[in-house]
């Protein structure tokens, strides 16, 4: 990998000879770059504005303890898509980690997702699955789902007031910095309750964490003689030097590409507070949610528990408190808010994106480039489809680029 630090000295010669420019080195961009290089023998240049590869999936050892920390929040790989699973196993082996989450509410710890164990513990009584179903249905009957006017009413109509107020209300208020009575009912479509003791968080066929960490996995994807990655390069500082018509995959923020001509799209962001704690185990699990509204953070990650097979220090651990808020202009965008106003802006950006593909050979992809929340497996699957259906045919045979934002 190389790094340019003085964009003013960059000329068109720096971008000559590449068959494809990829803007951003997250999973979407690297998947397309890897496919173009290995399947079509094309030369690919990846531009990354950060000082490291991998986008938000980047991980690194905490210096004092050596514990691997996911710098931009916990990343948990899971998928039921066999094609995606077979693809990623070319670059890494996976552990047998299965994600489980717990929630702290009023000094007590409960197992999530909401299941028979949580119901029995919360209501202080043993219920059979049928008894639990009847109890929740009775409590949820307070409000008919079709009559729900806001998120709070929708939540109560799905799981009843007691569980909503304990596990959804405070957490949601912190996530959105808004009273749930002021949030749209459309934000939640379902709140799953399991009437078994199963507390595995994901239901996917395949699940695990990369044995050597995310950064090693991502670096292997880019480790090909046809791929060059340039770090510390902001696309917007250099795009005038890219020869006109060079096929380009852009995975940065969609609205920024077009100079916010249709307005800024709304995002939520996350803040992280990392601490080395002088104990071998802080909370006994990888993720603890904090449901009480008066606790300012939404959850605490303890990263040693993601890799119990590793030989980490016995007297120190790393915890990261996570805070959620609306993203400002200079914040890292994480989750699309998707209000009606955002969706109207997005439709206008979609039309601009189609035109950009036709006129300038630029395609948009990934979470930021399509204004969609994509888990890692979704980003990889979408990138494979985009390569199969759009980018590959264009690079191989000169087929016109389809600029729609769906793969």
Look up 367 and say whether it is catalytic.
Answer: no
314 CB-side CA count, 13 A = 0
Look up 322 and say whether it is catalytic.
Answer: yes
**Are the beta carbons of 145 and 157 closer than 8 angstroms?**
yes
- The active-site residue out of 255, 322, 342, 356 is 322
CA distance 281 to 247: 50
Look up 373 and say whether it is catalytic.
Answer: yes
- The active-site residue out of 190, 311, 329, 397 is 190
Look up 268 and say whether it is catalytic.
Answer: yes
Which residues lie closer than 8 Å to 334 by C-beta, 6 or more apart? 56, 73, 267, 268, 269, 270, 327
Look up 198 and say whether it is catalytic.
Answer: no
- The active-site residue out of 35, 268, 350, 367 is 268
- The active-site residue out of 35, 299, 304, 350 is 299
**Are the beta carbons of 160 and 136 closer than 8 angstroms?**
yes
Phi, psi (rounded to 5 degrees) for 65: -115, -20
Is 108 in a helix, a strand, or coil?
strand
- Taking alpha carbons only, the member of 205, 217, 264, 203 closest to residue 82 is 205
Look up 375 and say whether it is catalytic.
Answer: yes
List strand residue ranges (DSSP E) for 257-357, in order: 267-277, 287-290, 299-302, 317-326, 335-336
- The active-site residue out of 14, 237, 331, 375 is 375
Look up 153 and say whether it is catalytic.
Answer: no
Tokens encoding 153: 């009413």
- The active-site residue out of 71, 169, 194, 230 is 194
CB atoms within 10 A of CB 243: 12
Tokens encoding 209: 């964490």
> Which residues are identified as catalytic?
190, 194, 268, 299, 322, 373, 375
């Amino acid at each position: 990998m190389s790094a340019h630090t003085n964009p003013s000295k960059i000329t068109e010669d720096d971008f000559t000879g590449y068959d494809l420019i990829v803007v951003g080195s997250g999973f979407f961009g690297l998947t397309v770059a890897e496919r173009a290089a290995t399947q079509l023998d094309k030369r690919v240049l990846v531009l990354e504005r950060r000082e490291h590869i991998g986008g938000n999936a980047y991980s690194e050892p905490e210096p004092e303890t050596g514990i691997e920390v996911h710098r931009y929040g916990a990343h948990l790989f899971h998928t039921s898509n066999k094609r995606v699973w077979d693809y990623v196993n070319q670059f890494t082996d996976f552990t047998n980690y299965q994600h489980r989450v717990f929630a702290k509410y009023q000094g007590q710890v409960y197992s999530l997702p909401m299941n028979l164990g949580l119901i029995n513990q919360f209501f202080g009584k043993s219920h059979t699955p049928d008894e639990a179903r009847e109890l929740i249905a009775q409590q949820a009957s307070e409000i008919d789902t079709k009559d729900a006017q806001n998120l709070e009413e929708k939540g109560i109509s799905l799981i009843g007031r007691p569980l909503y107020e304990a596990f959804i209300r405070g957490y949601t208020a912190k996530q959105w910095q808004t009273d749930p009575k002021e949030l749209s009912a459309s934000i939640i479509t379902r709140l799953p309750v399991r009437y078994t003791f199963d507390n595995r968080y994901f239901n996917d066929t395949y699940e695990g964490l990369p044995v050597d960490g995310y950064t090693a996995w991502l670096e292997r994807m880019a480790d090909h003689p046809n791929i060059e990655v340039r770090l510390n390069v902001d696309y917007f500082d250099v795009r005038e030097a890219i020869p006109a018509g060079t096929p380009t995959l852009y995975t940065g923020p969609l609205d920024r590409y077009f100079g916010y001509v249709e307005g800024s799209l709304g995002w939520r962001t996350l803040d992280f507070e990392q601490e080395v704690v002088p104990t071998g185990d802080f909370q006994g699990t990888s993720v603890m949610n904090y449901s009480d509204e008066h606790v300012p953070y939404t959850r605490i990650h303890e990263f040693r528990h993601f890799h119990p097979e590793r030989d980490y220090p016995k007297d120190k651990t790393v915890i990261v408190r996570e805070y959620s808020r609306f993203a400002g202009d200079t914040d890292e965008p994480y989750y699309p808010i998707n209000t009606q106003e955002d969706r109207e802006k997005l439709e206008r950006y979609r039309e601009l994106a189609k035109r950009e593909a036709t006129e300038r050979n630029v395609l948009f992809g990934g979470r930021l480039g399509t204004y969609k929340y994509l888990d890692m497996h979704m980003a990889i699957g979408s990138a494979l489809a985009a390569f199969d259906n759009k980018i590959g045919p264009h690079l191989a045979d000169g087929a016109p680029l389809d600029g729609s934002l769906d793969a």
